[in-house]
Structure 1
Amino acid sequence: MPKKIAPSFYFIGNNLALDFINTKVVADRKPVELLRASEDVWNWLLLTGSFTAQQVDPVTQWREEPTLVKEAIELRTSLHSIVRQRMLKAEVSMEDLERINLFLKSKAITTRMFSKEGQIASVRHIELQQPSDLLFPVAEAAVDLFTNFDFGLVKKCGNPDCVLYFYDNSKNSTRRWCSQKTCGNRMKVAAFMERRKKEEAEKSKNPG
C-alpha cells in the first residue's frame, strides 16, 4: 500500500495573508490543520521570508510558546471570515477587523540601509516584544489585500473539495485552480470521465 504523505504548506495565494489562510487544508475530503503547534507557525514564517533565522534568534523560546499558535489560529479565522465576506460583497465584521488591528497596534519598525555588491539595499526590523508580534507581517499583508487588491480577482480553487484561496494575477484573469498540476488535472480527469460515462450511456440507449 502506498505511503501517505502529510500535506505541507502551500504558497500559491500571491499574498501572504491568503497563504496564511491556506494553512488549513483538506486531504481525503477531511479538514487538516497545518498549524498544530507554535513551532509550525514559526516554521511557516521562516519559509515565507517574513523573518530570517537571525532576526528571530533572540526569541527562539517562542517556538514552544502555546499562545503563538492560539493567536495565529484566531488571526487566521478572522482573515478567512473577512475574505469570505468581501467575496460575497457582504458587510465585514468589525470584530474581525479589530482582531487584525490588535496585531498592527504599536509596533516599532525601523528600516536600515546597507551596501551590497555595489547596490544600496534596505532591511526592516520589527521589534519583537511578545509572541504575537511575529504575526505582524501577516496582518500587514492583510491591510494590503483588503485595501489595495481587486477582490473580484480573489478566488477559491474551482475544485469543490479544495479550500485554498489565491489572487488571480494570471493573463486575462483566467486562473481557476490552486494548482494546475493537482486540482486542475484532477478536475479535467473527472470531467473527461463524466463525458465518457454520458457517451457510453447514450450508446447503450441507441445501439448500432
Structure 2
Amino acid sequence: MPKHIARLAAGTVVALSLLTACSGGTGGTAEPPASGTPGSTSSDNSSSNGVPKVPAPLPTEKLLADPCSALSDSDVQALGLASPGKANDNTPRGCDWQSSDPELSSNGIVISPLPQNKNGLADTYSMKSSQAYFEPTQIAGYPAVFASAQDSRKSGACALVVGVTDQLTVAIVDGINKGKNHDNPCEPLTKIGTAMINHLKTES
C-alpha cells in the first residue's frame, strides 16, 4: 500500500472511531417530536432533544452488506474518483476511493455505515461536547453533521455524518492532500453525500 494511502486509511480509522458512540446510545430516537426546536422547519422533523429526524428512511441493506455500493459507477466518475472502490477491514467497515487524477492520487475518501450507533444521529449528537467541531447541516434534504473530535480541516481532512434512517448514519471522511479542495475539505463531502443519498433512493 502506498504510504499516502496508508496515512489516509489510518487517519480514517481514527476519525470513524471518534464518531462511533459507546454502547447504550441515547435512546433519543424513541422520543416524540417536539414543536419549535431550533433549526427545524416543521414539528415533524426534529425529536424533543433537538436531533433532526430523517424525512424518509433510505434502503440500507445493500449498503451495510457492501459499503462500496454507496455510490454508482456514474457517481464515482462524476466525482472524479477511481473505480472501483476498495472495501476495507476497518472498524466500522467502509469503502475507499482515490482520485482518478494521477496528480491527485494522494487524495481519497472513505464511506462507512455506522451500525454501532443504534440510535442514528441521536448518538452523534450525544457526543457533541467531545467534538472539536460540530456543524449541523442538510444533505439533499437529509439531516447531517460535520463533526470530528480532532480538527484536521486545515490539513485537508473533514468528516461528515449523514442520517439515512433514524437508526443508521453513514460517515464520509476525506483526505485532500493536494489540489483546490485542500483548504476546504468539507465542500466535497456535500457533493459526495448528495450523490450517495440520490443513489440510495434508487435501491429497492
Q: Do both share a fold (TM > 0.5)?
A: no
Name the TM-score, length of structure 2 as normaliser. Answer: 0.23
Greater helix content: 1
**Which structure has more strand as a fraction of its residues?**
2
Higher Cα radius of gyration? 1
Give the TM-score of the pair, scaled to structure 1: 0.22
